Amino acid sequence: MQHYNMNLTLKVWRQKNNKAKGGFETFQVKNVSSEMSFLEMFDVLNEQLVAEGKEPVAFDHDCREGICGMCSMHINGRAHGPWEQTTTCQLHMREYKDGDTIVVEPWRANSFPVIKDLVVDRTAFDRIIAAGGYVSVNTGNAQDANALPIEKQKADESFAAASCIGCGACVAACPNASAMLFVSAKVSHLALLPQGDPERKVRAVNMVQQMDTEGFGSCTNIGACEAECPKGISIENIARLNREYLGAVFSGSAQG
């Protein structure tokens, strides 16, 4: 595609801290290259703001290659912008044309409080993982990988679930601010493997309880999470989590 430059109007959410009331601030960004990533465009904006002696816009980012899940931005109503299975850092400016107005908001969910501007606190996810997203049975020394037979299809499904990067787009996109896609990915990833099997019931119950404690909404199978997930995590995982939970309820063995 032909390279081009564009001038943009940005409406960005600014909020001093968790307690302050936020609001939109409008910026003009000039000469943005169509080859830039969305975050590079924000770098240009921030350099401009620093040069003007103003406070740069705070936003999360780390790897800038679509694997860390930090770059949370709600762009013109879409988590990570309009491209399918794409994080904000992988969204490129060729999506936009000269004169466009782009509205950028933080992830909005009561369980993801704003820290500053576009940066939100996603430690609720860490606490859900801490409630059960691990294997604690003694596995002894690392053994030969082939010693534990795993069905190919299960290995693939587990791998697909494990590709969740904990970005929180599912929560951001869900009308109920539910974290079920995230939790179901974490539960599925372990439940499908022999190492995760011994603790599967307690894990499902504990992680669901922690998810509720953190104040996420309940899943009503709307599917906006799946549509926005940058890793293409399927709501088939939510079906699996529901089965895991039902299994724990009716087997009566889970302590919870």
Partner 1 sequence: MSWKNYFSTSIGKKILVGATGLFLVLFLVVHCYVNAMVFWPDAEPGKHFTEAAAFMGGNVAVRIMEIGLFLGLAVHIIQGLSLWSQNMKRRSVRYTVSAGNATSKWYSRSMGLLGTLILMFLILHLYHFWAPNRYGQAFDPAWKEEDLYHKMIAVFTPLWVVIIYVLGCVSLAWHLMHGFFSGFQTFGLATHKYKGVIRSIGVAFAIIIPLIFASMPIYLHCVGNCGH
Query: Do 187 and 241 form a contact (C-beta atoms < 8 A)?
Result: yes
Q: Should residue 209 be labelled a site residue for partner 1 when binding is judged by CB under 8 A?
A: yes
Q: Could you give the strand order of the β-sheet that contains 23-33, starting from the edge strand earlier in sequence?
A: 23-33, 5-14, 101-105, 74-75, 78-79
Q: Should residue 77 be labelled a site residue for partner 1 when binding is judged by CB under 8 A?
A: yes
Output 42 or 107, the one with its CB closest to partner 1: 107
Q: Should residue 168 be labelled a site residue for ligand FES when binding is judged by CB under 6 A?
A: no
Residue 104 CB, shortest distance to ligand FES, in Å, is 14
Output 96 or 125, the one with its CB closest to ligand SF4: 125
Q: Should residue 181 be labelled a site residue for ligand SF4 when binding is judged by CB under 6 A?
A: yes
Q: CA gyration radius for the chain? A: 21
Residues of this chain, 81-100, that bind ligand FES according to CB under 6 A: 87-89
d(Cα 172, Cα 124) in Å, to the nearest integer?
Answer: 13
- Round to the nearest angstrom and report the end-to-end CA distance of the chain: 55
Among 14, 22, 27, 129, binds partner 1 (CB under 8 A): 22
Give the angle subtended at the CA of 80 by the CAs of 76 and 85, to the nearest 5°: 125
Q: Should residue 132 be labelled a site residue for ligand SF4 when binding is judged by CB under 6 A?
A: no
Per DSSP, which regions of 1-82 are E strands?
5-14, 23-33, 74-75, 78-79
Among 7, 26, 123, 221, binds ligand HEM (CB under 6 A): 221
Q: Should residue 12 be labelled a site residue for ligand SF4 when binding is judged by CB under 6 A?
A: no
Side chain identity, residue 56: P
Residue 181 CB, shortest distance to ligand SF4, in Å, is 4
Residues in Cβ contact with 254 at an 8 Å cutoff, skipping those fewer than 6 apart: 201, 202, 204, 205, 248
Residues of this chain, 39-78, that bind ligand FES according to CB under 6 A: 61-64, 66-71
Residue 146 CB, shortest distance to partner 1, in Å, is 27
Among 8, 10, 185, 219, binds ligand SF4 (CB under 6 A): 185
DSSP letter, residue 36: S
Judged by the rule CB under 6 A, the positions of this chain that interact with ligand HEM are: 220-221
